[in-house]
Chain A
Amino acid sequence: MSILSMTKTLFKNLQHGPYTVLYPIKKKESFERTRGRIAISIDDCIFCSMCQRRCPTGAIKVDKANSSWSIERLQCIQCNYCSEVCPKKCLTMENQYTSPSFGNVRDEFIKCMNTQSLSE
């Protein structure tokens, strides 16, 4: 028969104070490996569409004609598959999350083609 078996734990907690973080003011630090969001260094991209074909949710769209790469942020499941298959390794996983939003967010990146026309 035992009652008040939580007392010890409760007094410990009283001494320690809150274990949680006051979120908007203080943020929890993310780890190095945290899968936050996909970033692209668009200048290295060769628009091979490998990421678009392999993406399990179809969040990525690659347009070779306009040399643009875009991602639907809320459709992306942060699985890191695209950055694994990328032949130029220009896709990377950042450890910061995308900020919350109300609607769909499509981030588009367009490659500046000036340098290429010079070399031609």
Chain B
Amino acid sequence: MGKRTVIPFGPQHPVLPEPIHLDLVLEDEVVVEAIPRIGYIHRGLEKLVEKKDYQQYTYVAERICGICSFMHGMGYCMAIESIMEVKIPERAEFLRTIWAELSRLHSHLLWLGLLADAFGFESLFMQSWKLREQVLDIFEETTGGRVIFSVCDIGGVRKDISADTLKKIAGIMDSMEKELKEISEVFINDSSVKSRTKGVGVLSKQAAFDLGAVGPMARASGIEMDMRTQGYAAYGKLNFKPVVEKKGDCYARTSVRINEMFQSMDLIKQCIAIIPEGDIKVKVTGNPNGEYFTRVEQPRGEVVYYAKANGSKYLDRLRVRTPTFANVPALLETLKGCALADVPILILTIDPCISCTER
């Protein structure tokens, strides 16, 4: 047995887009324990709900995260709508679903790029981000923002997508599917990529359940859990099945995310095929009173919004439990017993979003 050494990992590290600190306890080259520290970007957004009224907070909620921004706005709006018993128009529900699935697509593409970057495959990283650019252009054309859309509002959505644009999006999805197939081949079949991901950081089904893993992390270990099957927004009217893998290693997590991208493209096309005409927003008056838990499936997993209102225009409490927060224990578990050189890839496979985690 070798001597134990403690190596600080982060908060600044080339693989981390955002700061998180881990103290890695090593025995020779093998990690035996990891202790997390967070709080480098704690912004007090949950507390801000006492100062901004519930309509202004829609814009704050979107800024909890810079990648799954739309879904944060949507989750918050859904919580308030449930408290106020507002039923939003059907077209708005479909539009929300289209934007949500596009967000998932862009988030997973970003993640694929980062993964390629983590194991040093720079040109693959560029290819993934090149594809992502097309999605960002769709966002800019339909909402006006490339990352933060500000289209979700309590009672519906702010902007409509014209039939022509919808047709164009369906066309882009078709061409993108071909391009994605080309680069996903590299992630799935290339032997140099496989040697970095296959068998690394295995999380068994039981461990994933015991540690409360969510999202692609849980699905890669064989747990069939996807909040979209609960049928919020327009998901109830669409035809899809959660993507599940059995192995629970980095390779399985990569392939879950790749298959989810194809699924997202399919869902977008399904939405475009059956989207009904009609209003996109109902007028909301009065103040919310009551409490509600909403659960939404984000690219990273299940997110919980708890809103408690007291009848005034300021909410009492908004709690956001983000998927990364739930996946940190699973990450710590997979780190145990892995080699130091695999730590960056393992941290990346939970798709960490630290800004979300600390709010």
Give Cα A78–Cα B60 distance, bound, in whole angstroms.
12
B113 to chain A, nearest CB (A): 14
Interface residues of B in 23-71 (CB under 8 A from A): 52, 56-57, 59-60, 63
B 168-212 to A, binary, CB cutoff 8 A, 1 in contact else 0 = 000000000000001101100111100000000000000000000
Whether, in the assembled complex, A90 has its beta carbon less than 8 Å from a beta carbon of chain B, the answer is no
Task: Check if B190 sits within 8 Å of A6, measured CB to CB.
Answer: yes
A50 to chain B, nearest CB (A): 13
A 30-58 to B, binary, CB cutoff 8 A, 1 in contact else 0 = 11011100000000000000000010100
Whether, in the assembled complex, A22 has its beta carbon less than 8 Å from a beta carbon of chain B, the answer is no
Complex interface: chain A residues within 8 A of B85 (CB) = none
Query: In chain B, what residue has the closest Cβ to A84?
Result: B158
* Cβ-defined partner of A1 (8 Å) among B130, B142, B158, B191: B191
Give Cα A9–Cα B185 distance, bound, in whole angstroms.
11
Task: Check if A35 sits within 8 Å of B142, measured CB to CB.
Answer: no
Whether, in the assembled complex, B324 has its beta carbon less than 8 Å from a beta carbon of chain A, the answer is no
* Cβ-defined partner of B186 (8 Å) among A5, A31, A77: A5
Give the number of residues in B that approach A within 8 Å (Cβ atoms).
29
Q: A2-B191, A33-B159 are in contact. Are A56 and B140 (CB under 8 A)?
A: no
Whether, in the assembled complex, B150 has its beta carbon less than 8 Å from a beta carbon of chain A, the answer is yes
* Cβ-defined partner of A6 (8 Å) among B124, B133, B142, B150: B124
Give Cα A35–Cα B158 distance, bound, in whole angstroms.
13
A 63-75 to B, binary, CB cutoff 8 A, 1 in contact else 0 = 0000000000000
B 278-297 to A, binary, CB cutoff 8 A, 1 in contact else 0 = 00000000000000000000
B161 to chain A, nearest CB (A): 10
Whether, in the assembled complex, A86 has its beta carbon less than 8 Å from a beta carbon of chain B, the answer is no
Q: A9-B127, A9-B182, A33-B143 are in contact. Are A2 and B189 (CB under 8 A)?
A: yes
Task: Check if A31 sits within 8 Å of B144, measured CB to CB.
Answer: yes
Task: Check if A34 sits within 8 Å of B140, measured CB to CB.
Answer: yes
Q: A5-B185, A78-B145 are in contact. Are A35 and B190 (CB under 8 A)?
A: no
Give Cα A94–Cα B261 distance, bound, in whole angstroms.
33
Query: In chain A, what residue has the closest Cβ to B183?
Result: A9
Task: Check if B190 sits within 8 Å of A80, measured CB to CB.
Answer: no
Give Cα A78–Cα B150 distance, bound, in whole angstroms.
9
Whether, in the assembled complex, A10 has its beta carbon less than 8 Å from a beta carbon of chain B, the answer is yes
Complex interface: chain A residues within 8 A of B130 (CB) = 19
Task: Check if B182 sits within 8 Å of A8, measured CB to CB.
Answer: yes
Complex interface: chain B residues within 8 A of A34 (CB) = 140, 144
Give Cα A33–Cα B139 distance, bound, in whole angstroms.
10
Complex interface: chain B residues within 8 A of A79 (CB) = 59, 150
Task: Check if B186 sits within 8 Å of A6, measured CB to CB.
Answer: yes
Whether, in the assembled complex, B123 has its beta carbon less than 8 Å from a beta carbon of chain A, the answer is yes
Whether, in the assembled complex, A113 has its beta carbon less than 8 Å from a beta carbon of chain B, the answer is no
Complex interface: chain A residues within 8 A of B159 (CB) = 33
Whether, in the assembled complex, A3 has its beta carbon less than 8 Å from a beta carbon of chain B, the answer is yes
Residue of B127, B144, B183, B192 with highest tally of chain A CB at under 10 A:
B144
Residue of B124, B130, B142, B145 with highest tally of chain A CB at under 10 A:
B145
Query: In chain B, what residue has the closest Cβ to A3?
Result: B191
Give Cα A8–Cα B182 distance, bound, in whole angstroms.
9
Give Cα A54–Cα B52 distance, bound, in whole angstroms.
9
Task: Check if A33 sits within 8 Å of B142, measured CB to CB.
Answer: yes
A117 to chain B, nearest CB (A): 37
Complex interface: chain A residues within 8 A of B133 (CB) = 19
Task: Check if B145 sits within 8 Å of A35, measured CB to CB.
Answer: yes
Can you sample 13 A-B contacts with CB below 8 Å?
A3-B191, A8-B182, A9-B182, A9-B183, A10-B123, A30-B140, A33-B143, A33-B159, A34-B144, A35-B150, A77-B63, A79-B150, A84-B158
Given contacts A33-B143, A34-B140, 13 further A-B contacts (CB under 8 A): A3-B191, A6-B124, A8-B182, A9-B127, A9-B186, A10-B123, A30-B140, A33-B142, A33-B144, A34-B144, A80-B150, A81-B150, A93-B144
